[in-house]
Amino acid sequence: MCWNEHVSLNTFLFSSFVLLLIIYNNEYTKYKIQQLNNPYIYIFLASFISMQLIEFFIWRNINNKVYNNIFSIFGILLILIQPVASLMILKNTQLRNLLIMIYLFFVIPFSIYKFSTKHIHSVVSKQGHLNWKFFGPNPFTFLFWLFWLFFLLFVFFYEKIWFGIIFGIVSLLVVVVNFINDGSAASIWCWVVNIIMIYYSFYLLIYLPFLEKSHI
């Protein structure tokens, strides 16, 4: 999560612009990123970008118990949906449907239990980022994050989508290090979304045009 409402909003606006730029270029120009030329990949990226908008509203309402609870629930639901958005990228529909069923078989009862037994809200952690009070700092939570990451990242290794593999390695490191520190996933969405979108904006606006000129 980002460090304050301004960083969250700026990340959302910047990343949304870059995603629209990617979609526009893949559709209408010769500067294409073929690896991302898939509607389901756009949806997957949008799910992470949208998290920044939710975090913006959480930061704005961090001291308002009602809105803090509402936007924290939105954030948790989006997190739980992200592996499904990721698995939709799989070209093997039989495998895709099987993995989605397995994921939902475990996640739906887990979510129902958590939503019915915990007050969902967010606080500012000692590291200065948002800490969602949903999972709780315990070994079972760490296993859940590994379970979540497996389904989130499976498609990228299976389909050999390199941006996703890099994303996965960075995500895993951030989750492990920060879970050890304060039992949260820290600024994983903020860091990863910014890094990926800065890279693709550079790739589209500078690298591809420069590469074309060098071949003239």
What region does 183 belong to: left with phi over 0, alpha with psi -120 to 50, or beta? Answer: left
Q: Residue 156's closest CA among 38, 61, 74, 17? A: 38
| Amino acid at residue number 119 | H
Number of other residues whose CB lies within 10 A of the CB of residue 129: 22
User: In 34-188, which ranges are E strands?
Assistant: 121-124, 130-133
The model carries a pTM of 0.88
The tens digit of pLDDT for each residue in 180-205 reads 666 555 556 677 788 889 989 999 98
Query: Considering only 60-74, 130-144, 166-180, which range has the smallest mean pLDDT?
Result: 166-180
Q: Which residues partner with 132 through β-bridges?
A: 122
| C-alpha to C-alpha distance for 212 and 216, rounded to whole angstroms | 7
Instruction: Return the structure tokens found at 61.
Output: 């309402």
- Chain Cα centroid distance, residue 67: 22
Per-residue pLDDT reduced to its tens digit, 13-38: 999 999 999 999 999 999 999 889 99
Range of the domain at 136: 5-214
**Given a cut of 90, is residue 215 above it in pLDDT?**
no
Give me the number of domains the chain comprises.
1
